[in-house]
Amino acid sequence: MKIEHDPVGQKFLIDDGKFYGILAYTEINGNLDVHFIDATDERVKEGIIRSAFEYARNAGVKIISSAREVDTFVEKHPEYEELVEK
C-alpha cells in the first residue's frame, strides 16, 4: 500500500484499485490543517493519517486537527501528540 503526498493538491492519497484513502489539508502558517479524511477501511485510514504525521515530523511542522479521526488517532498513538498544534 503506497501512500502519495500531493503538496500542490494539499492531500495524501492511496488508490491502488483495491484500497482507497484520501486525507485533505490546508496549509496554514506552514502547518497542516487536516479537515477531511475518507478511506475504504480503518487500516487504510490509520495509514494515511500516520503518513501525514510522519511528513509533519520530518518537515518540522504541526498538524491542526479539524477532523475527529485525527483526534482518535492521537488518542491511540500518543507518540504523535507533540505534533498537534494546540
- The predicted-structure confidence for 28-53, as pLDDT tens digits, reads as follows 999 999 999 999 999 999 999 999 99
CB-based contact 48:39 (threshold 8 Å): yes
pLDDT of residue 75: 97
Between the CA atoms of 74, 80, 81 and 82, what dihedral angle is there, to the nearest 10 degrees?
-170
- Residue 86: predicted pLDDT: 80
**How many CB atoms are closer than 10 A to CB 64?**
21
Q: Which CATH architecture has domain 4-83?
A: 3-Layer(aba) Sandwich (3.40)
- In the chain, domain spans: 4-83
Q: What is the pLDDT of residue 16?
A: 85
Residue 17's pLDDT is 87
pLDDT > 70: what percent of the chain? 100
The grid coordinates of residue 12 equal 495524501
Tens-digit pLDDT profile for residues 63-81? 999 999 999 999 999 999 9
Confidence band of 83 (pLDDT split at 50, 70, 90): very high
